[in-house]
Structure 1
Amino acid sequence: MTTPAHHVQGLDNDEVPADWPAISAGEIAWLQQHFVELQGDCRLLWHSPRPFSAAALVQGPHGRFFIKRHHHSVRSAAVLSEEHRFIAHLAAQGLPVVQVIADQNGATALEHGVWTFEVHAEGIGQDLYRDVPSWTPPASVEQAWQAGRMLALLHTAAEGFHAAQRATHLLVARDDLIRAEDPIAALTAQLPDRPGLAAYLADTPWRAELQRAILPWHMGLATRLAAEPRLWGHNDWHVSNLLWQTGSGVTTVSSVLDFGLASPTSALYDLATAIERNAIAWLQLDRGAQAVRGDIALALLVGYRDARALSSDQVQLLADLLPVVHLDFALSEVEYFHAITRSRANADVAYRAFLLGHADWFRTPAGQGLLATLRGAA
C-alpha cells in the first residue's frame, strides 16, 4: 500500500512515506475513457502532499483538472456523492466553489477496483498555501477577515440544503457527540457499528479519560446547542482550502476547496472549527503564547459577523464550544488510522495529542487567553 517514491505530510509536520500510492498514468488513462474533459494528451503536474487520499493536478488540452482518489473503505461513490450534492447546491446559490466534473453518464464519483475517483475543475485564483503545512495560521489578519466573511456567505447559501447525516464517520467532521447530553453514553452506543474504533478503545481507559479531559468542557453545551439549527458546513475551514485573488492591494477569497469533511453540524460548529484550524499553531505549541493568534481569531469572527449576524450569547457559546469542537473528528481519525491504515502509532497521536491534548491545551494560560479574547468580543 506504500510507495517509497511518494511522500506526504506526517502528523508531526514531517515528511513520511504515503499510505496511498500516487495517482498513476495508467489511472489517468482509465479516467480518460469516462471524462471527455480529460481526453487527449494529459500530463501530471503535481502530486498533493495531503495524507488521507491521493490527489494530483493534470494538464490536458481542455485545461487543468484536479483528480482525487480514495480507498473504497474510506469513500464509496455513494458517500462521495453526498458532498458533491452539497457543492452543487452552493454553486447554484452563487458561492465560488470549484466545479465537480461529471462523467459521460452524469456520475461525479467513479469506482474502479479498490478505488473511488473524483475530478474537479481547477479553481480560480492562487493557491497561496499549497506548500504550507496544516495547522499553520494565515499570513495576515486581512486574509483571516476575508476567510471569516466567506464562511458566513457559505452558511447563508447552505440554509436551503437539506440532506441526511453522512453515511460514514470516517474522516467526516460530525457533531453527534458534542450535541449529546452524555457523550460517553452516545459513543458507547456507536461502537457496535464502528468496530475499528471499538478495537482501539478496547484496551484504553477511554471513559475515564473523556470524563477528565472532555466532560468538564462539555457541561451544559448540549442544551445550548439545541437552539442552534442543523446546517451543512464545510467543517475544515482553513486558509489552505481556499484560493485567493490578489490585486489593488487587497487579497480576497476566489474559490472554496475540499468539502471532504462536510456534514450537517451548525454554523457555530463550523466557525469554531475555523478558529481552531487557523488561530492556533498546533504543531508549534512549544512557542507558548506566540503559537496563539488571538488577532486571527478575532478577524475570523469580525469578518463572519460582517456578513451574518451573531448574538452575544452565540459568541459566548462559540468560545465554550472551542475546546471540544474536535471531539467527533478526532475519534474519526483514530478509527481511520487504526482500522484503515493499521498504524497504531498514528492512532495514538490522534487519540493522545489531538483528542485529549487539544482539550487539555485550553486549560493552559495560552488557551485560557484565547477563550477570554473571544468572550470579550461578545
Structure 2
Amino acid sequence: MNDPTHLAHGLVGDNTPPDWPALGADEVGDLLRDYPSVTGPTRIRWHSPRPLSAACLVETDAGVLFVKRHHHRVRTAATLGEEHRFIAHLRDRGMPIPGLLRNVERSTVSTRGEWVYEAHQCAAGIDLYRELISWEPLSACSHAFNAGSMLAGLHHAATDYHAAQRNTHILVARSDLIQAADPVATLTAQLPQRPGLEHYLRDRHWQHDLHELLAPWHPVVQPALARQLPLWTHGDWHVSNLYWSDDSASATVSNVLDFGLCARNFALFDLATAIERNAIAWLELDHHTDIAHPDIAHALIDGYHQQRPLTQADRDVLANLLPLVHVDFALSEIEYYHAITQSPANADLAYDAFLCGHAAWFHTRHGQALLRGIRNAD
C-alpha cells in the first residue's frame, strides 16, 4: 500500500514510507475540476509527512488549498461527514478554522473508487510546527499557554453541539473504555463489531494487560468521569495541528486544523490529550525516563484555566486521567495497523510501546512527579 517516493513520520520518530500512495498532480487536478470555486491549472506545492492519510498543499487560481485523501476503510463519506459537521458548527461559533470547499453536488466530501477526499481553504498564519511529530514537545511555554487558551475557546464553542458519537473506532480518539465501569467487559462487547482488533487480540493476554494498566488509576477516576458533561473534542491537540500568527515567542494561534480524531468525549479528555501530546517526549522513552516537560504541561493548563477555570477536583481528575487518556486511541491504532495496513510490526509497537508502555511510564519517579505537579498547581 505504501509509496517510497516521499517519506512520512514514523512511529519511532524516524522517516518511513507512508501508509498510502502520495497524491498525484493529475489526480488532484481531476478532483478539483469538480469544485466550482476552482478553475484553471493546479500545482502541488508540498506533501504532508503524516502517515495515516495522503494530503498536500495545492496552488490554484483560487489560492492555496489543502487536499486530503482517505482510504474508504479508514473514512467513509459518512464518517468524514461527522468531522465536517463539527467543523461547520465551530466555524459558526467563531472558531478560526479553514473553510471546507463544496463540490458540484454541494458536498464537502468527494468519493472516487476506494478513495474519499476533502478539500480545505489554506489556513491563515504560518505552520510553525509543521515538521514536529505529534509526541515531540514544544519548547516555548508561551506557545503552550496560547494553545491551552485556544483549546478552552474550542470547548466553549462546542458546548451546544449535540451530535451522537462517531460511527467508527478507526483512528478516532474516543473515551469509551476509560469511562466504562468495566473496561474489559466493554471491549469484549465491542469486539464482534471490530473483527480486525478481535483477530489481533487473540494472540495477546489482553484482558490481563488491560486490567493491569488500568488498575492503578481507573477505579479512582472512573466515578468522576461518569459525571463529566459530554462534549465533542478535537482529540489531537498538538501544536503541529495549529497555525500561528508569527514565529516569535509571543505568537498566538491563528487557525486550528485536523479534526480527524474528533469525537464525543468530555472537556478534560481533550486537555489531558493536549498534555500527553505536547508535554511528554515519548519518542525518547527508550533512552531514559526523564521525558516530562512539566513547564509545558503547566502552561497548557494555565492557558486553559484562564478561559475555563479549573477547580481542584478538575485538576485531580486531570492527573488521574492522564495515564489512561490514550487507551481507546491506542487500540484504534492497533486495529488500523493490523486490519487495514497489515503491518504486524506497527501493530505490536502500538500495543507494547503505546498502549502498555505509556501507562507504565506514569509509575516511574518522573511520571509520578508530573502527576503531583498537575494536582498541586496553584
TM-score (normalizing by structure 1): 0.98
- Contact 1:95–1:154 (8 Å) recurs in 2: yes
- Contact 1:45–1:58 (8 Å) recurs in 2: yes
Match of 2:99 in 1: 99
Match of 1:227 in 2: 227
- Contact 2:145–2:303 (8 Å) recurs in 1: yes
Match of 2:37 in 1: 37
CA deviation digits over 1:308-328, x for unaligned, max 9?
111110111000000000010
Gaps of 5+ in 2: none
Q: 1:249 to 1:223 in 2, by over 3 A?
A: closer
Q: 1:247 to 1:337 in 2, by over 3 A?
A: closer
Identity of aligned residues (%): 53
Match of 1:212 in 2: 212
Cα deviation for residue 106 of structure 1 reads 1.4
Cα deviation for residue 288 of structure 1 reads 3.8
- Contact 1:288–1:366 (8 Å) recurs in 2: no
Match of 2:316 in 1: 316
Q: Distance in 1 between matches of 2:249 and 2:74?
A: 42
- Contact 1:173–1:328 (8 Å) recurs in 2: yes
Cα deviation for residue 41 of structure 1 reads 1.0
Match of 2:140 in 1: 140
The one-letter amino acid paired with 1:213 is L
- Contact 1:214–1:356 (8 Å) recurs in 2: no
Match of 1:196 in 2: 196
Q: Distance in 1 between matches of 2:144 and 2:181?
A: 33
Cα deviation for residue 369 of structure 1 reads 0.8
Matched residue SS, 2:5? strand
CA deviation digits over 1:126-155, x for unaligned, max 9?
101111222111230000000000000000
Match of 1:185 in 2: 185
- Contact 1:31–1:38 (8 Å) recurs in 2: no
Stretch of structure 1 that moved more, 46-55 or 33-42: 33-42
Alignment of structure 1 residues 4-83 onto 2, 5 Å = 4-83=4-83
* Number of equivalenced pairs: 378
Match of 1:169 in 2: 169
Cα deviation for residue 167 of structure 1 reads 0.5
TM-score (normalizing by structure 2): 0.98
Match of 1:264 in 2: 264
Matched residue SS, 2:87? helix
The one-letter amino acid paired with 1:26 is D
Matched residue SS, 1:59? strand
Match of 1:349 in 2: 349
Matched residue SS, 1:220? helix
Q: Distance in 1 between matches of 2:136 and 2:75?
A: 27
Alignment of structure 1 residues 281-292 onto 2, 5 Å = 281-286=281-286, 288=288, 290-292=290-292
CA deviation digits over 1:237-281, x for unaligned, max 9?
000000000288621000000000000100000000000000001
Alignment of structure 1 residues 105-116 onto 2, 5 Å = 105-116=105-116
Cα deviation for residue 5 of structure 1 reads 0.9
Q: Distance in 1 between matches of 2:142 and 2:197?
A: 40
Matched residue SS, 2:133? coil
Matched residue SS, 2:246? strand
